[in-house]
């Protein structure tokens, strides 16, 4: 196995961002090649009779740390003459120069391929003048005092800074990011890069608005179901003539409590409906997040967020940033492009073997026309399938009529 490059030099990037470069693996031999990336496994230093505080300290040290250079995928199999692309990701954590040798190992072979990865990280910095504020003593209930601080950016790129306690936009975005799926084992999530002052990708906001709408519909359906059930129970209770006074008091108290609960649900529905009519600004988004938290606390068995590629907001945002159309129409348009090769011939002429070899050579799908027709006939959800079934039924009727006429003669 060979590498297309023995060294990858990444450009200088800021901490919190990442760069991805692609290299190619090639297998020029006549046997399959199984490869994997060598990784250092942490040594378990925890002993059985170790004090608790030492165990906690070592356990924190043994947690996997974020890798500066990462390879995806980390393993694979190359058939003879096959090539495969491998991505190398660089994500710095400090402002320094990084250099690491990545080792590719081959199963049942002593050969080791090395890849040198290098890159420079940039860490945003701010300078405050003065660094310490001394406002002096103040009387109780006094108007207060003010002081000015000069913030300087010594870097050659713009920096966005905010207060973790008082910036409402940051708090809203933090709630959104915590509810997203797609974090890796290092608690890292990749999103399109943002310029200073920009908000999160619009796909994330749309996702949470859709989630809030689905939560409201579920809550409304559950409310109507509970209302119908309680009305049915009240009808059964009122029709029973042999009920004691104590039982009537209990049912009355239950009815009052149920009514109060339903009034709260109705108030929540009216309040959420007013939010739908507001503009898409920071205040309305904060209300959306507040309403979502309310709905999740009321119904703990709500439907989980979908994680499919076409419904995942993270995948949508990345695809838009890369210019990839992942919609159903885009995939169909992509599948319609290309060249189709039809291999036909007499029986036992080697059609199947030739088709399989050509599919492997061109890395294409090998399909059987018989299986395609059978699948189309069995599928009644699309127009071609219905048309194929009608043709088959018509051909079967004509064949049976023809056989009947021949039998009558």
Each residue's pLDDT tens digit, 324-338: 877 767 777 766 677
**9 has a pLDDT exceeding 90:** yes
What confidence category does residue 44 fall into, taking pLDDT thresholds of 50, 70 and 90?
low
What confidence category does residue 98 fall into, taking pLDDT thresholds of 50, 70 and 90?
very high
DSSP three-state, residue 346:
coil
Tokens of 165: 């306690």
**94 has a pLDDT exceeding 70:** yes
Rounded to an integer, what distance in angstroms lies between the CA atom of residue 5 and that of residue 24?
A: 8
What confidence category does residue 305 fall into, taking pLDDT thresholds of 50, 70 and 90?
very low
Q: Give the pLDDT score at 307.
A: 37
Biggest CA–CA distance in the chain, Å, is: 120
Mean pLDDT across 23-37: 89
Nearest to 203 by CA among 20, 327, 334, 304: 327
DSSP 351: H
The DSSP code sequence of 261-330 is HHHHHHHHHHHHHHHHTS-SSHHHHHHHHHHHHHHHHH-TTPPPPP--TTT-HHHHHHHHHHT---SHHH
Q: Give the pLDDT score at 62.
A: 64
Q: Give the pLDDT score at 250.
A: 39
Nearest to 28 by CA among 1, 50, 47: 1
Mean pLDDT across 32-57: 72
Mean pLDDT across 312-317: 85
Element (H, E) at 406: helix 383-408
**Alpha-carbon dihedral sign for residues 301, 307, 312, 313:** positive
Q: Give the pLDDT score at 8.
A: 92
Q: Which residues of 239-255 are buried (b: 16+ CB within 10 A; e: fewer)?
A: eeeeeeeeeeeebeeee
**369 has a pLDDT exceeding 50:** yes
Give 319's contacts (C-beta < 8 A, 6+ positions apart): 325, 326
Q: Alpha helix (H) ranges present in 94-244?
A: 168-179, 202-239
Mean pLDDT across 219-235: 83
The better pLDDT of the pair 70, 243 is held by 70
What confidence category does residue 85 fall into, taking pLDDT thresholds of 50, 70 and 90?
very high
Q: Give the pLDDT score at 90.
A: 93
Q: Give the pLDDT score at 288.
A: 45
Q: Give the model confidence (pLDDT) of 144-180 as tens digits.
A: 888 899 999 998 889 998 888 888 888 888 888 888 8
Most confidently modeled of 61-70, 257-266, 386-395? 386-395
The better pLDDT of the pair 374, 173 is held by 173
Q: Give the pLDDT score at 338.
A: 74
Q: What is the pTM of this model?
A: 0.57
Most confidently modeled of 313-317, 354-358, 372-376? 354-358
Backbone angles phi, psi at 119, to 5 degrees: -170, 160
Tokens of 6: 């023995």
**10 has a pLDDT exceeding 80:** yes
**375 has a pLDDT exceeding 60:** yes
Q: Give the pLDDT score at 316.
A: 85
What confidence category does residue 119 fall into, taking pLDDT thresholds of 50, 70 and 90?
very high
Mean pLDDT across 171-193: 84
Q: Mean pLDDT across the chain, nearest whole number?
A: 77
- Total Cβ atoms within 10 A of residue 69: 21
**42 has a pLDDT exceeding 60:** no
Q: Give the model confidence (pLDDT) of 50-65 as tens digits.
A: 777 777 777 666 665 6
């Amino acid at each position: 196995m060979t590498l297309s490059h023995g060294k990858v030099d990444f450009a200088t990037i800021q901490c919190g961002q990442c760069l991805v470069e692609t290299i190619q693996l090639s297998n020029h031999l006549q046997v399959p090649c199984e490869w994997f990336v060598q990784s250092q496994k942490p040594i378990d230093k925890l002993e059985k009779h170790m004090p608790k505080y030492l165990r906690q300290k070592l356990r924190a040290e043994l947690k996997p740390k974020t890798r500066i250079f990462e390879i995806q995928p980390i393993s694979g199999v190359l058939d003879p003459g096959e090539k495969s692309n491998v991505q190398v990701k660089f994500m710095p954590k400090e402002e320094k120069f990084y250099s690491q040798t990545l080792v590719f190992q081959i199963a049942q072979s002593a050969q080791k391929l090395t890849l040198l990865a290098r890159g420079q990280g940039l860490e945003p910095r701010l300078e405050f003048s003065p660094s310490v504020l001394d406002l002096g003593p103040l009387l109780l209930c006094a108007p207060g005092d003010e002081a000015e601080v000069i913030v300087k950016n010594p870097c050659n790129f713009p920096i966005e800074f905010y207060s973790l306690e008082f910036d409402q936009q940051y708090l809203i975005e933090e709630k959104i990011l915590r509810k997203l799926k797609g974090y890796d084992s290092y608690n890292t999530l990749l999103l399109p890069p943002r310029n200073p002052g920009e908000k999160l990708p619009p796909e994330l906001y749309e996702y949470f608005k859709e989630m809030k709408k689905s939560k409201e519909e579920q809550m409304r359906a559950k409310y109507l179901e509970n209302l119908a059930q309680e009305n049915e129970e009240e009808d059964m209770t009122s029709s029973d003539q042999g009920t004691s006074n104590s039982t009537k008091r209990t049912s009355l108290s239950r009815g009052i409590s149920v009514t109060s609960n339903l009034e709260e649900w109705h108030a929540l529905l009216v309040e959420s409906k007013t939010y739908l009519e507001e503009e898409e600004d920071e205040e309305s988004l904060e209300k959306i997040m507040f309403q979502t938290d309310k709905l999740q606390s009321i119904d703990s068995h709500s439907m989980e967020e979908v994680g499919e590629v076409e419904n995942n907001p993270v995948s949508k945002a990345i695809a838009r940033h890369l210019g990839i159309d992942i919609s159903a129409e885009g995939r169909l348009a992509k599948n319609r492009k290309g060249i189709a090769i039809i291999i036909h011939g007499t029986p036992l002429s080697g059609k199947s073997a030739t088709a399989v070899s050509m599919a492997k050579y061109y890395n294409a799908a090998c399909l059987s026309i018989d299986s395609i027709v059978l699948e189309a006939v069995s599928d009644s959800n699309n127009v071609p399938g219905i048309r194929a079934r009608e043709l088959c039924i018509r051909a079967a009727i004509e064949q049976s009529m023809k056989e009947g006429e021949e039998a009558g003669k």
